[in-house]
Amino acid sequence: MPKRLEIRLAGTGGQGLILAGVILAEAAGIHEGKFVAQTQSYGPEARGGASKSEVVISDAEIDYPKAIKPDMLVCLSQAACDTYIFDLKPGGVLMVDATLVHDLPTTRAVALPFTRIAREETGSEMYANIVALGALSALTGIVSLKSLEAALLTRVPPETAELNRKALKAGATAAREYLHRQKRTGPLE
């Protein structure tokens, strides 16, 4: 992992991107001992406006908490992909929700159907953010699935814990299947 790793999670309000960023940051910071900064922004609408969460993970102290040129961009909406793709570091990883993002700006994008997987595995699309976190872990190795699960369980209501676990694991499984189809043996570099 580079000394400073920048991840941007983007989509629309109501997709749980702020929660996903907090979970990712806590998994890396609390459970894996990294230095972490998490920031967020969203439009004036409580639901439906633009939303993003940024997580900076480092082996050293973080002097600036926002993503300058994200190493990884996770987009759960077409508008987010269209807006933020130009910020992605050259050679960075773009991961999109194939259910909602149809016009890919690059052939290097990893397109997995987070929303469809969430619906099939949990009965609700609201777990797409957690599916994306599971996929992120399996694709990149940024944080372990175990650390994500531990952070997740401190942030979600107890009555949804099992569905969240299921979503996290389904995302990791989908990513592993993607890697297998791409004939890769390990996390993306």
Q: Under CATH, what is the fold of the domain 4-113+136-156?
A: Pyruvate-ferredoxin Oxidoreductase; domain 3 (3.40.920)
pTM comes to 0.91
pLDDT at position 185 = 53
Name the residue ranges covered by the structural domains of the chain: 4-113+136-156
* CB contact at 8 A, 150 and 27: yes
Contact 129, 15 (CB under 8 A): yes
pLDDT, tens digit, 9 for 90 and up, residues 123-170:
999 999 999 999 999 999 999 999 999 999 999 999 999 999 999 999
Report d(CA 23, CA 110) in Å as an integer.
Answer: 21
User: Which 8-state DSSP code applies to residue 51?
Assistant: E
Tens-digit pLDDT profile for residues 2-28: 589 999 999 998 899 999 999 999 999
Mean predicted confidence (pLDDT) in 91-111? 91
Higher pLDDT, 110 or 182: 110
- The pairing of strands 35-42 and 50-58 is antiparallel
Mean pLDDT score of the chain = 91
Contact 140, 70 (CB under 8 A): no
Give, in order, the Cα–Cα distances in Å from 117 to each of 67, 90, 124, 172: 28, 29, 9, 11
